[in-house]
């Protein structure tokens, strides 16, 4: 669906050259939600501008649905961009137009006749859950409602791809979740390919099927979300995973528990899929006569199943503790000894 081949983007500035994107190769499949995560300056916005043809790559090609976006311009590019829609962090609505007129705007530009336009606007307002707010102005809406207008406007011309530029970064956590659920629903209902950029792993966890992690212009890691969560490779990916696994808070809990219970091993156990629902810890206790002390736990859902981390202190005869760890490994559960008393 979307192919980026050997993409580099170098900006020439007064102070020299800046490489914003370097040697990126990516394939994004039809109908998936693909996340690009990175800290500020990683090159995410540049990537999104390359995807909709707002920027030309210095080297390489960008192909969207069979069309080489990176080599067309003028009318051809304008036409291609009608099929590549976008939503923004700060919504970019027209403040003097009502909800209905904001959504109608791209239809007016595309020359859709008035009666057809009105019908389509009504459908879109229902789709994004804004029924009854047709005549409200953006200033009368909450942040979440504004983004719903942004989404409806982006869907007006039946795009093939929706690009989301930090679309929930200006929203509170609850509103963020409701907008992410709307995007997931639209992806399922319309089979729309969604590419989003974010600096929040929560967004990736909640709706993405696959993810690419960017650092200093490069994709340092990519793959299925659940696999990246279970087995992050790059240091920066481990940091992002920590954002949602609560590992930072668990550090304090470990220090506290070692004061009172200085023996045993502190083990980080990572479960995915069905394993998250099995009574594995009670099995360890019964079978190997070990004590298991829970230090920190967290289970969250991804689009391809649950993902959980549990930090436990396992204490007992050394051989029994080792056998308990062996059992976890044999059940395909990842373990990592993080403190060895």
Ligand X SMILES: Nc1ncnc2c1ncn2[C@@H]1O[C@H](COP(=O)(O)OP(=O)(O)OP(=O)(O)O)[C@@H](O)[C@H]1O
Residue numbers at the binding site for ligand X (CB under 6 A): 11, 13, 18, 20, 38, 40-46
For the record, the structure tokens of 277 come out as: 């629902």
Pick the closer one to ligand X by CB: 14 or 189.
14
Pick the closer one to ligand X by CB: 197 or 314.
197
What whole-number distance in Å separates Cα of residue 341 and Cα of residue 338? 10
Pick the closer one to ligand X by CB: 49 or 146.
49
CB 308 within 8 A of CB 241: no
Instruction: Concatenate the DSSP letters of all residues of 224-253 into one string.
Output: EHHHHHHS--SHHHHHHHHHHHTHHHHHHH
Q: Determine the 3-state secondary structure of 127 from DSSP.
A: helix
- Least CB distance to ligand X at residue 115 (A): 41
- Least CB distance to ligand X at residue 279 (A): 43
- Least CB distance to ligand X at residue 218 (A): 11
- Least CB distance to ligand X at residue 108 (A): 30
Pick the closer one to ligand X by CB: 16 or 173.
16
Pick the closer one to ligand X by CB: 87 or 328.
87
Long-range contacts of 11-17 (CB under 8 A, 24+ apart): none
- Least CB distance to ligand X at residue 236 (A): 12
For 149-166, give one letter per residue: b (16+ CB within 10 A) or e.
Answer: bbbbbbbbeebbbbbbbb
Query: What's the burial of 132, exposed, middle or buried (CB within 10 Å: 0-12/13-18/19+)?
Result: exposed
């Amino acid at each position: 669906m979307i192919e980026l081949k050997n993409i580099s983007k170098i900006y020439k500035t007064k102070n020299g050259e800046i490489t914003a994107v370097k040697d990126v190769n990516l394939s994004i499949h039809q109908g998936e939600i693909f996340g690009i995560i990175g800290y500020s300056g990683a090159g995410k916005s540049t990537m999104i501008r390359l995807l909709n043809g707002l920027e030309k790559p210095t080297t390489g090609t960008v192909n969207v649905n069979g069309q080489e976006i990176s080599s067309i311009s003028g009318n051809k590019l304008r036409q291609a961009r009608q099929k590549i829609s976008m939503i923004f962090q700060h919504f970019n609505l027209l403040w003097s137009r009502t909800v209905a007129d904001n959504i109608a705007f791209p239809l007016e530009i595309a020359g859709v006749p008035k009666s057809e336009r009105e019908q389509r606007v009504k459908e879109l307002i229902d789709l994004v859950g804004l029924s009854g707010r047709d005549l409200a102005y953006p200033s009368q809406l909450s942040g979440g409602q504004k983004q719903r207008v942004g989404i409806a406007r982006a869907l007006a011309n039946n795009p093939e791809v929706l690009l989301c530029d930090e679309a929930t970064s200006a929203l509170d956590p609850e509103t963020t979740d409701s907008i992410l659920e709307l995007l997931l629903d639209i992806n399922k209902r319309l089979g729309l390919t969604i590419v989003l950029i974010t600096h929040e792993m929560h967004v990736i966890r909640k709706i993405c099927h696959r993810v690419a992690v960017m650092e200093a212009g490069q994709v340092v890691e990519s793959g299925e979300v659940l696999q990246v969560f279970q087995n992050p490779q790059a240091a920066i990916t481990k940091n992002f995973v920590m954002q949602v696994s609560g590992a930072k808070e668990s550090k304090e809990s470990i220090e506290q528990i070692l004061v009172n219970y200085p023996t045993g091993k502190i083990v980080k156990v990572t479960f995915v899929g069905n394993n998250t629902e099995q009574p594995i810890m009670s099995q360890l206790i019964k079978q190997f006569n070990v004590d298991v002390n829970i230090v920190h736990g967290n289970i969250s859902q991804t689009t391809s199943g649950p993902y959980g981390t549990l930090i436990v202190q396992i204490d007992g005869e050394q051989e029994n503790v080792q056998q308990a760890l062996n059992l976890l490994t044999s059940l395909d559960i990842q373990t990592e000894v993080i403190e060895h008393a």
